[in-house]
Each structure stands twice: as C-alpha cells, then as structure tokens.
Amino acid sequence: MNRRSWLQTRAALAGSLCFPAVLRAQSRTVKLVVPYTAGGPLDALARVLAEKAKDPLGTVIVENRAGAGGNLGADFVAKAPPDGNTLVMGAVATHAINPWLYKSIPYDPIRDFAPITLVARVPNVLVLNAESARRLRINSVKDLIDYARKNPGKLNYGSGGNGSAGHLAGEMFKNQARVSMVHIPYAGAAPAQLGLLSGQVDLNFDNLASAAANIRAGKLKALAVTTAERSSAMPDLPTIAEAGLPGFAIDTWFGLFAPAKTPPEVVAQLNKTFVNVLTMPDVKARFATFMAEPAPTTPQQFAAFVKSELAKYQGVVQRSGAKIE
C-alpha cells in the first residue's frame, strides 16, 4: 500500500468512528426485547417495527423475555450496554403500573431508561353483557352510573386479574363516578371475556380489539371507550369523558426505550428511524388490525408522558389495594 492509499484508508476509518454506532447499519444487529410471550398485540406490533426498521438499522431481532408481568424483559434492557443495540418495547404495565403494583422491581422506570418514542395507544372499551344491558335498561354511561348509585354493590365487573389494565380502569371509574361495584378477577383477559359473555359478570373494561367482534355481533353492549379521544376504529362510540365522566382517560400504551446513558445522538437517530416507520401508511394499516393508533413523539415528549403516567397510576393502584409480592 502506497502512502497516499494508506492515508486515505486511515482517514476513512477515523471518520467512521466519529459517527454513532446506530448509523453504521451494514453489520449491525439490534435486539428488540418484548417483555411478554409471543402472540399478543405488543409482540405483533414490535415485529412490524422490526421488519420496517431493518434497512436503516441493520438486522433487527425480536426477542421475547417474558416473566413477572414484563419486569424481567425490562430489567434485561435496563442492564444492557447503552450502545443503542438493545431496546425494549415497554408498556403502561412495565413503566407506570408495575412500580406500584409489585412490592419491588429490579429497575427504576425513569432512571434506568432512555425514552425513544411512544409507539401506539390501544383503547379499552366499557362493555356490558348484552342481556344484562337489556334487563337493567343500561344504554349509556349515565344509565350505568345512575343504576350503580341506586344499587350499590349489585353490579360486578371482570378483569384479567388484580392490577390488570381492566381492573385499574374499573377502579378509576368507581372512584370518579362515586359508585360501588364488585371486582371479579379472572386468570387472564380471555377467561374474563368468557365470564362476561356467559353472564357471570355484568361488565368489563376490555381491550377494544378483543371485544370488537362480539360488539358487532350484538353479544356485548359497548357504552364508551376509555381513552381521551374517540377511536378511529369505532368513531361513533363516545369516550367515557364525553358520556358522563369529564376528565376520565385511561388506555394501554406501548413505547420504545433504550438503556440509560445511551448517547443522545444515538437516541435521536433511533427516534428518527422509528417515527418514520410509524408514519408509513402500510404500518398504520397493520396497526389498525389491532385497533392500535400510532403515536410517535420526540424523546422529550415521551419522557414527560411516562412521568405523568407513573404519577397517575400511583393513585389508581393504591386506591385499588392491588399488590403483588
């Protein structure tokens, strides 16, 4: 190698080292950790992101690390090298509910992560067993509140378990509406929905994607969605806030996090990549099959959102009395 070629090679190598690792995608592998088992909505959405982000980032592998309500997978990423190559698809449970629900968790949801972007929000829906709705003459949120106030403790609602999203939505509803209803915890969301369909319970705060088919079939009576805004999947369905409880807002959300101390320029590039993915028309269409609304943000917006959700769920979990040792 002559001196000129050697100097050019040296300059190229030096220049490449000035760029964040995230920009050198040719031989890069990014691990996207899903802290739940395969097959659920969060897993499915993570795989859409992984497929679409592979060109700008390199190989993106989804790895399921389930356990302890999502805590094991989140902790794995919290302790990973802060190089932008290990990310977690976190959720309202891992970063807002579990810190108050579990006696202790092995990570701090704020201190141990670098937020990248909010990914999606999925509405829950207040649904009644259709026969119960007819028998009790409940056709709106106001009807439900009026009945519950006149008949304290006579209505019961199911959920996928103590501390689940459906349980906490019910607790928030009870608190804001000043009503008494009995919580019936099931061993998962699917058994809870079967309990509602069979009439074992009167109502649930169910995932909209799970409930939609039975709503359309007339087996469930939908009263309102739990989110602050109406769902594009069922735009005629009001929000609970519109229908009688101003300020009520609770939903399931998913978002991307890197380990704390990941360089800001790496976080910025990851944000740019995934925000671009979330605005793709085909990605929006695939998210819509899960009733998920893409919700890209800046890292700063996402960090502020997580802090506000953590504060909100502190009160909700404590009022519910739910605790997991």
- Sequence spans of domains, the chain: 28-122+251-320, 130-243
Sorting pLDDT into bands at 50, 70 and 90, what band is 19?
very low
Cβ neighbours, 10 Å, residue 63? 14
For the chain, count helices (H), then strands (E).
14, 11
Give tens-digit pLDDT for 101-140. Answer: 999 999 999 999 999 999 999 999 999 999 999 999 999 9
Sorting pLDDT into bands at 50, 70 and 90, what band is 11?
very low
Give CA–CA dist 203/2, Å, rounded. Answer: 79
- Give the pLDDT of residue 189: 86
Sorting pLDDT into bands at 50, 70 and 90, what band is 325?
confident
Give tens-digit pLDDT for 210-246. Answer: 899 999 999 999 999 999 999 988 999 999 999 989 9
CATH topology assigned to domain 130-243: D-Maltodextrin-Binding Protein; domain 2 (3.40.190)
Q: Which residue has the higher pLDDT, 27 or 38?
A: 38
Give tens-digit pLDDT for 260-276. Answer: 999 999 999 999 999 99
Give CA–CA dist 51/309, Å, rounded. Answer: 29
H-state helical runs in 205-263: 208-216, 240-243
Cβ-proximal residues to 148 (8 Å cutoff; 6+ apart), any chain: 154, 155, 177, 179, 180, 181
Give CA–CA dist 238/29, Å, rounded. Answer: 44
Question: Per-residue pLDDT averaged across 21-28, rounded?
Answer: 54
Sorting pLDDT into bands at 50, 70 and 90, what band is 2?
low
- Give the pLDDT of residue 55: 85
Give tens-digit pLDDT for 29-42. Answer: 999 999 999 988 89
- Give the pLDDT of residue 24: 52
Give tens-digit pLDDT for 158-202. Answer: 998 888 889 999 999 999 999 999 999 998 888 999 999 999 999
Q: Which residue has the tokens 């607790």?
A: 171
Model confidence at 258: pLDDT above 90: yes
Q: Cβ(201)–Cβ(156) under 8 Å?
A: yes
> Cα torsion for 194, 195, 200, 205, to the nearest 10°?
-120
| Amino acid identity for residue 17 in this structure | L
- Give the pLDDT of residue 269: 96
Give tens-digit pLDDT for 31-88. Answer: 999 999 998 889 999 999 999 999 889 899 999 999 999 999 999 999 999 999 999 9
Of 179, 205, 180, 182, nearest to 192 (Cα)? 205
Model confidence at 100: pLDDT above 50: yes
CATH topology assigned to domain 28-122+251-320: D-Maltodextrin-Binding Protein; domain 2 (3.40.190)
Q: Cβ(28)–Cβ(59) under 8 Å?
A: yes
